[in-house]
Amino acid sequence: MHLELRVPYASEVSLGEILVGETEGTGHEFLLRVTDLLHGAETAMPDWAQRVAGSMMRLDRDNAKYDLHDREERLYQQAVTTPLGFIDRTTGSPRLRKPKTLPPQFSRIRRLTDADLEFLAAYDQDLRVGLIRSGSHVINHAVGIHGRYLPHHIGVFATTGMGKSNLMKSFAASVMQSRRYGMLILDPHGEYYDGGAGVLPDGRKLQGLSHLPESTDRLLVYSSRQLPGPYNQLKISAAEVTISDLKAVYSFSQAQEECLWALNALFGETWLLDLATSTPEELSVHFGSKFHEMTLAVLKRRAEQVLRFDVLHADPNVTVTGGIMRALEDAKVVLVDTSSLWEPEEMLVSAVLARTVFRRNKEKYKRPQEFQATPPVLIAVEEAQRVLQRREGEVSIFAQIAREGRKFKTGICAVTQQPKLIPEELLSQFNTFFILGLADERDREILAGSAKQDISALVREVQTLEPGEAIIASPNVPFAVPARVDLYEDLLARQVASNGVKAAAAPKAFY
Ligand SMILES: Nc1ncnc2c1ncn2[C@@H]1O[C@H](COP(=O)(O)OP(=O)(O)OP(=O)(O)O)[C@@H](O)[C@H]1O
Ligand SMILES: [Mg+2]
């Protein structure tokens, strides 16, 4: 369904703007989203505009002035719009209903205001992301998602510099303030703790999660590098590393993998240490001629290499996973700064932590009371294409969580510049999309095909989004909602100015 509007000569309407149509008599208003803009002119001649342009050029050449008669009456803009729904005020509190009928012709159209958005109260949202936006106008009405959908996974998609990290910081602040959900943030760039070295266009230094007043009791930081404030040294024990974790980092042939499983069966939890500390000859005693000594030698070298990772400890008691799990169970945000690690090390730590969270929640599922009292957990990964990309013969823990996490209160928040690298079958598991500016057409099309709300009409708008401008598609918003994401540094300034926000009371129920 498309509706075409005539916009008066001097008025400006922008792509993505939401307009309100008033229908006299019925008391209903309908919302329209601008999906295209064209020029219009009142004339019977189809090529009138070209002819006028031609006359102008000729007169210009002769330095004469051309005045278009009745310009303001004859020229206008034409806005092509898609109806989003109509506001039904007959049932007490206003509701947005699906657009099944055509609004009457020649209705009066006006701009959207805060008062029109009263119907959004029917959509329960407890994690704020920003304000509603209509084109480039910001409307003073908060918008976000509901945390009960965290285990239904979130995708944050944008070309570099369009505002993914800022969105993540603002969102993590909402999670801390809600006190209802656990969030594990894996930070390979070291930008979430204190904002890193970057500055805003106005010269202000970027801020981090440690600057938030709530961080004192809602944030727990683990880091492999030295940080100025309170933090814990990131360590995991070698006994926690499973074969599937290693596969997140290295490729193994079938024979090598079989050998790993045999070692695992033989030594149990300490397999990695035992592998690294035994000679191939000692190992082959256990297996006879089942595995080549060469295979054992190669695997031994791998194990030695992994054990040289700074974060890995031979002592099974030296690990942070227990502390991380407890913090997530207490609905805290856990920041794991892996920025000083090299990629294989960082990927291994990420896999171990994600798997531990998932397994823990899966275990709890067997004990309904305990499971019910467990807050949903969101695991946020930057450069998510690295862990969700299809790789030969390998199922990453992140892909597994994307497929099965919903049932076990474990969600993935995939942050990426290249959604097209994520298999569509996995993308379709993501129920919430935060789409910021995306320059690549293929990326936009992939998202349009996988979003739970119809965003096909927005593909062009997504190309024109400025940093911080987003479109939110989530189960608990009435349509793909345009938003202006809170700038984290502004959010902090507001909080500090008002001497901290009122902390929400700890909720009794979790979703
Ligand atoms: N909501 C916003 N409001 C105003 N400015 C914003 C907003 N979001 C982002 N910006 C601007 O854009 C810059 C880049 O944002 P950000 O670092 O979040 O992008 P990114 O998508 O994470 O980039 P990268 O892919 O390089 O990590 C910010 O430093 C800020 O200047
Ligand atoms: Mg970023």
Q: pLDDT (tens digit, 9 = 90+) per residue, 356-401?
A: 999 999 999 999 999 999 999 999 999 999 999 877 667 799 999 9
411 lines ligand 1 (CB under 6 A): no
496 compared with 446, residue with greater pLDDT: 446
pLDDT at residue 251 greater than cutoff 60: yes
**CB of 158 closer than 6 angstroms to any ligand 1 atom:** yes
Cα–Cα distance, 66 to 36 (Å, whole number): 30
Average pLDDT over residues 348-362: 97
pLDDT digits (tens, 9 = 90+) for 127-160: 999 999 998 899 999 999 999 999 999 999 999 9
For 154, the token pair is: 């979130």
Strand residues in 114-267 grouped as ranges (E): 127-134, 137-145, 154-157, 182-187, 219-223, 232-233, 236-237
Tell me the C-alpha distance between 460 and 386, whole Å.
27
Choose which residue among 129, 165, 206 to substitute to test ligand 1 binding: the one with the highest number of ligand atoms within 8 A of its C-beta: 165
The Cα–Cα gap between 429 and 145 comes to 17
Residue 460 has pLDDT above 90, yes or no: no
pLDDT in tens, 9-46: 888 898 899 999 987 766 678 999 998 899 988 888 88
**Stretch 219-248: mean pLDDT, rounded?**
94
Ligand 1 atom nearest to 417, measured from its CA: 25
Between the CA of residue 166 and those of 129, 201, 468, 469, what are the distances in Å? 10, 14, 8, 11
pTM: 0.91
Query: What's the pLDDT score for residue 25?
Result: 67
Give the distance, in angstroms, between the CA of residue 45 and the centroid of all CA atoms in the same chain.
50
Sequence-ordered list of residues with C-beta below 8 angstroms from that of 451, at least 6 positions apart, any chain: 433, 435, 473, 480
CA distance 170 to 208: 10
pLDDT of residue 499: 42
Asked if residues 119 and 127 have their Cβ atoms less than 8 Å apart, the reply is no
The torsion of the CA quartet 405, 406, 407, 410, rounded to 10 degrees, works out to 50
Sheet arrangement for strand 182-187: 137-145, 127-134, 481-485, 469-473, 432-435, 154-157, 410-416, 377-381, 182-187, 333-337, 219-223, 232-233
**Does residue 468 have its Cβ closer than 6 Å to ligand 1?**
yes
Q: CA separation (Å) from 169 to 165, 187, 206?
A: 6, 11, 11
- Report the separation in Å between the CA atom of 158 and the middle of ligand 1, taken as the mean of its atom positions: 10
What integer best gives the mean pLDDT of the chain? 90
CB 480 within 8 A of CB 471: yes
pLDDT confidence band for 511 (50 / 70 / 90): very low
Which of 32-41, 240-249, 293-302, 492-501 is least confident? 492-501
Per DSSP, what are the bridge partners of residue 390? none
Return the number of other C-beta atoms located less than 10 Å from residue 365's C-beta.
14
In this structure, the chain runs to a length of 511
> Which H, E and C letters describe 79-119, residue by residue?
EEEEEEEEEECCCCCCEEECCCCCCCCCCEEEECCHHHHHH
Query: Is the CB of 200 within 6 Å of ligand 1?
Result: yes
Please state the atom number of ligand 1 nearest to the C-alpha of residue 168. 18
Burial environment of residue 508 by CB neighbours within 10 A (0 to 12, 13 to 18, 19 or more):
exposed
Give the pLDDT confidence of 66-122 residue by residue, as tens digits. Answer: 777 788 888 899 999 999 998 888 877 888 888 887 788 888 899 999 988 988 888
Given a contact cutoff of 8 angstroms between Cβ atoms, the answer to whether 235 and 336 are in contact is: no
Q: Whose CA is nearest to atom 9 of ligand 1?
A: 163
Structure confidence by residue, pLDDT tens digits, 393-435 = 677 999 999 999 999 999 999 999 999 999 999 999 999 999 9
Nearest CA to ligand 1 atom 6: 468
Q: How far is the CA of 468 from the centre of ligand 1 (A)?
A: 6
CA distance linking residue 417 with residue 160, whole number of Å: 6
Give the atom of ligand 1 at the shortest distance from the alpha carbon of 470. Answer: 1
Specify the CATH architecture of the domain 143-196+206-234+320-497.
Answer: 3-Layer(aba) Sandwich (3.40)
- CB of 164 within 6 A of ligand 1: the answer is yes
Q: In Å, how far are 84, 120, 324, 366 from 97, measured between CA atoms?
A: 9, 12, 44, 40
Nearest CA to ligand 1 atom 31: 200
Give the Cα separation of 412 and 152 in Å (integer). Answer: 8
Confidence of residue 503 (pLDDT cuts 50, 70, 90): very low
Q: How far apart, in whole angstroms, are the C-alpha atoms of residue 333 and residue 184?
A: 6
Q: Which structure tokens are listed for 235?
A: 């360590």
The reply to whether ligand 1 has any atom less than 6 angstroms from the CB of 280 is no
165 lines ligand 1 (CB under 6 A): yes
Residue 467 to residue 436: CA distance in whole angstroms: 7
164-178 helix and 488-497 helix, angle to the nearest 10 degrees? 40
CA atoms within 13 A on the CB side of 32: 28
Cβ–ligand 1 distance for 163 under 6 Å, the answer yes
The answer to whether 179 touches 507, Cβ cutoff 8 Å, is yes
Q: Write out the residues surrounding ion ligand 2, Cβ under 5 A.
A: 164-165
Report how far ligand 2's centroid is from the alpha carbon of 240 (Å).
Answer: 30
pLDDT tens-digit map of 180-218 = 999 999 999 999 999 998 999 999 999 999 999 999 999
What pLDDT was estimated at residue 504? 45
How far apart are the CA of 157 and the centre of ligand 2, in A?
10
Q: Would you say 28 and 88 are in contact if contact means Cβ atoms under 8 Å apart?
A: yes
65/74 Cα distance (integer angstroms)? 19
Tokens describing residue 452: 């739970």
Residue 203, ligand 1, Cβ within 6 A: no
Report whether residue 117 contacts ligand 1, using a CB cutoff of 6 Å. Answer: no
Nearest CA to ligand 1 atom 15: 163
Structure-block tokens of residue 484: 């202006």
Do the Cβ atoms of 31 and 86 come closer than 8 Å?
A: yes
The alpha carbon of 339 and the centre of ligand 2 are apart by a number of angstroms equal to: 13
3-state secondary structure of 219: strand
pLDDT score at 509: 43
Ligand 1 pocket, 201 CB below 6 A?
yes
pLDDT: which is higher, 460 or 161: 161
Average pLDDT over residues 291-298: 90
Supply the pLDDT for residue 413. 98
**Is 235 a residue whose pLDDT tops 90?**
yes
**Confidence (pLDDT) at 287:** 83
Query: What pLDDT is attached to residue 496?
Result: 64
pLDDT band at 477 (very low <50, low <70, confident <90, very high): confident
Question: pLDDT for 45-64, tens place per residue?
Answer: 889 889 988 988 998 898 88
The Cβ of residue 205 has, within 10 Å, a number of other Cβ atoms equal to: 13
Q: What is the pLDDT of residue 181?
A: 97
More confident residue, 184 or 458: 184
Give the pLDDT of residue 501: 37
What percent of the chain is helix, strand and coil (3-state, nearest 5)? 40, 25, 40
Domain ranges within the chain, ordered by starting residue: 3-122, 143-196+206-234+320-497, 240-307
Q: Which residues, 6+ apart, have CB-to-CB distance to 129 below 8 Å?
A: 143, 144, 145, 167, 170, 171, 174, 434, 470, 472, 483, 485, 486
pLDDT at 69: 79
